Amino acid sequence: MSKQAKWTVGWLLALTLALIVARSGLVLAAGPGADIRLTNDYPGGGYVSAYTLATGQPYTDAVLDECSQARGRQNEPSVAVDPRNTQVLISSSNDYCGVYAGSPSGGPYVPAGPIWLGYYRSENGGASFQSSLVPGYPGDTSPYAALAHVRTASAGDPVIAWDNHGRVFMGSESSDDPAGSLKTFGDVWVARFDNPGGEGGPPQNDGKRYLGSEIVARGSSAPNLLGKFNDKTAIEADRTGGRCDANVYFSWSRFTGNGGVGIYFGRSTDHGASWSQPMKVSAGVHDVQFPDIAVTGNGNVYITFRQFAAQGQQQDAILYVKSTDCGRTFAAPRQVTTFIPYDAQDASAAEEEPAQSAPDDPRFEEEGSAPGSLARDCGDFQNHCQAGYTFFRRDTQVRSTADQLDTAHEWVYLVYDPTKPGTETATGTTYGSISPGTGSQSAIYFVRLNGATGQTTTPTLIDNQGTGHQLFPDISADGGVLHAVWWDSRNDPAYSPARPVGNDASGKTYPSLDVWAARSTDYGATWTGQTRVTDVTSNPNYEQFDNRTVPFAGDYLWVTSQGNFAYGVWTDWRNTVQGSDPRETTEDEDAGSADVKQCRTYNTSSGQWSGDQCPHDGGLDQNIYGDTTP
């Protein structure tokens, strides 16, 4: 039986089991269908080379072999449905499945493999996915590898867009030096795929053949993310059929060693084969991040982004820039709305980390904060924070889209996750979501921008709830229907606006996050069908990163749609195996609730712990799941 057939049978069995369990009353099925696992990095699942998927020719390597058994980490998912065929979806994520490639069977496990972009392909409307990697990763010796004109040992922040001609584009940032130096390149690049049969080929094969990857902007190759580093990517393609049809647009945040951050933009008019010189579009704004791109039905291009409050000179706000000439030039930034931020933070109280003979993770994957400084995420040892909570990083950000089929309006639709006014509360600790010591409830707001006039609607709540935090929203629009998804902690048994998601007052963590979704058929005036999508509430605070000391959930979820069909993807921890960290000779505040299974030995002669020697046993099993949404 082929792997595709096995996956199809496996999905049907999983769906049948889910229906039986649901009817038995043991589990209340929540979403529109059974949740589908996209990252099949386990024995019996498996990863297949993108070269094999496109050509049928067998190929594998040590990285793909490792990905077929890793039970590793994946986060920051993206997904896009083929506008020519809703049966075809391409998804991606930061995929850590190859990190232990090359290690002997049974160990010792050495984190020498790549973190890379996943390439997850469905040809049955998202009912199952074949798991793969975008070509060009270190260790790729397939015929496709030479087409990847990139320079990096790792890649992340995947974003995806289709044009209307069977081509899909996958954007990324890149960092580590393949030569193993301390330099971090900080490039951004785009991979492109087409239909092997050309535009006239069967749409079932759209986006299957890899054509290559090209750098859009180069960083300055400085150690430890200093110098010029490009990050926080966004991509969109023009599908209007008009004057800018098939243009591809890419935007990102550029960080520099002196602390400056700007929003930059590039475009391709030859289907991703070459790119324009990077252009700064955030002139006059001091601190910005999280760009997103929308193309309206008349071919105008919009980039939205967050402005951070800075030294009393500017407020927390959503800004946008507009191009009326297919991305050649942009007008000056304009404001959409201000907001009260929800930015999780605490005072770093770093503790000594036990000496370790070998690392668990690639170098510079995470870095602890200096004692007394504000930390965006908290956990154990060097990542310990004063309030004692364990939480992943999260900041208010904006996502935007436009309906490219709507030629009657020049409307851009935006969602963001700020503090809900009136929920501000003293935390009684150093933790805060607005500032240290001040917490709040976060919620998902919607705004519609009329690009022709610059007018905006009043921000409105998509799903007003008195309990739970809402975060990481995304929005899609096509054919007159809007679809939104977000993470929601209304099922958190320890919910409080004074604490991070999933933490009780003592610092113990709990399963606390679900994905929710809603839709609008009146251009966002009203939202209906508010639905829990996930079948399982999971714990986002497992310490799976930076040598098993801190959680990381990524920075976004994703939804894609064509008319009434919509599909969402998210990071999920239902398969994570909880365990204990033997290095904690005195158990910390989370009481083991955030620790994952790990295996270490202590060498009394050297006074050092070994690295984790059972990384395949489920402690790292963070995955990408997906489902249809309202």
Rounded alpha-carbon distances, angstroms, from residue 598 to 267, 459, 546, 590: 45, 46, 13, 17
- Residues 369-392 pLDDT 10s: 556 689 999 999 999 999 999 999
d(CA 212, CA 195) in angstroms, rounded, equals: 13
Q: What is the mean pLDDT of residues 613-618?
A: 98
Cα separations (Å) of 210 from 190, 272, 487? 12, 12, 33
User: pLDDT tier at 223 (50, 70, 90 boundaries)?
Assistant: low
Domain count, the chain: 1
Domain annotation covers residue 615:
no
- CA 426 distance to own-chain centroid: 31
The answer to whether the CB of 383 falls within 8 A of the CB of 550 is yes
Give the lowest-confidence range in 210-214, 216-220, 406-410.
216-220
Phi, psi dihedral angles at 24 (to 5 degrees): -75, -15
- Token pair recorded at residue 387: 């309030």
Residues linked to residue 415 through DSSP beta bridges, in sequence order? 399, 446
Mean pLDDT of 1-29: 35
| Distance (Å) of CA 471 to CA 268, 393, 420, 445 | 32, 11, 12, 10
Q: How confident is the model at residue 363 (pLDDT cuts 50, 70, 90)?
A: low
Burial class (CB in 10 A: 0-12, 13-18, 19+), 74: buried
pLDDT the model gives residue 469: 98
pTM here?
0.93
Alpha carbons 98 and 74: distance in angstroms, whole number:
11
C-alpha 390/C-alpha 542 separation (Å) is 8
Q: Is the pLDDT of residue 38 over 90?
A: yes
Whose CA is closest to 237, among 323, 320, 174, 299?
A: 299
- Inside any domain, residue 272: no
Specify the pLDDT at position 226.
60
The answer to whether 378 and 629 are in contact (CB under 8 A) is no
* DSSP assigned state of 214: E
For 286: left if phi > 0, alpha if psi spans -120 to 50, otherwise beta; the answer is: alpha
Rounded distance, CA 564 to CA 405, Å? 14
378 or 363, greater pLDDT? 378
In a domain, 465, yes or no: yes
Query: Does 599 map to a domain?
Result: no
Residue whose C-alpha is closest to residue 107's, from 619, 621, 616: 616
- The reported pLDDT for the residue numbered 176 is 76
- Residues 624 and 184: their CA atoms lie apart, in Å, by 27
Asked if residues 330 and 322 have their Cβ atoms less than 8 Å apart, the reply is: yes
The domain of 451 spans 354-534+552-572
**d(Cα 65, Cα 102) in Å, to the nearest integer?**
9
Phi, psi of 14 (to 5 degrees): -65, -40
Structural domain includes residue 91: no
The yes-or-no verdict on residue 620 having pLDDT over 50 is yes
| Confidence at residue 313, expressed as pLDDT on a 0 to 100 scale | 73
Residue type, 24: S
DSSP one-letter string for 506-524: TS-B---BEEEEEEESSTT
Residue 450, pLDDT above cutoff 60: yes
Q: How far is CA 67 from CA 62, 89, 100, 160, 209, in A?
A: 9, 21, 9, 22, 21
Segments of 225-376 assigned E as strands: 228-237, 248-256, 261-268, 279-280, 288-295, 301-307, 317-323, 334-338, 346-347, 374-375
CA distance 317 to 321: 13
Q: What is the DSSP letter of 454?
A: -
Dump pLDDT digits (tens) for 529-579: 999 999 999 999 999 999 999 999 999 999 999 999 999 999 999 999 999
pLDDT at 512 over 50: yes
Pick the residue with more confidence: 261 or 444?
444
Residue 492 covered by a domain: yes
333 band by pLDDT with thresholds 50, 70 and 90:
very high
Average pLDDT, stretch 494-507? Answer: 98
In a domain, 75, yes or no: no
Per the domain annotation, does 521 fall within a domain? yes
pLDDT at 463: 98
Which among 446, 445, 441, 432 is positioned nearest to 468, based on CA atoms? 441
Structure tokens at 12: 């049907």
